[in-house]
Structure 1
């Protein structure tokens, strides 16, 4: 399912226009993004939690040349599925 399919499904399920569904989805993604950018956490009980984690700098290896390279530290987004989502998928 891509973004367009999700908007179509949201509009059909909620009985709203596709424009309203698109606005709702964009609002949701913007709010999640801004919260994570500010170092916060987003938790939807039973569905999952998004959080930001620090990944330390490390030494890697170029598989083509075998040469060692330095990989910079960075922040990564993590998602942990909630019990309800995990149970539904399994």
Structure 2
């Protein structure tokens, strides 16, 4: 299972990624999966399922609205289309 944090825009995704990296949570910006049907084409890919429960409180503390934590079974190459 792959986990993507869907947010409103790329700026928010970038801010969230910076916060996660400060907290040593392994994540990267990635294209939002097409099947997610989400307006923003950039999402935050989370490498470890265990980190999901840490992310929502961190986002809330930093006034970042998470639209959805999207789960996908599609194969995803973390090196392809890597933005940051």
Calculate the TM-score normalised by the size of structure 2: 0.23
Report which structure shows greater RCO (CA 8 Å, sep ≥6): 2
Larger helix percent: 1
Larger strand percent: 1
Calculate the TM-score normalised by the size of structure 1: 0.22
Report the structure number with the largest CA radius of gyration: 1
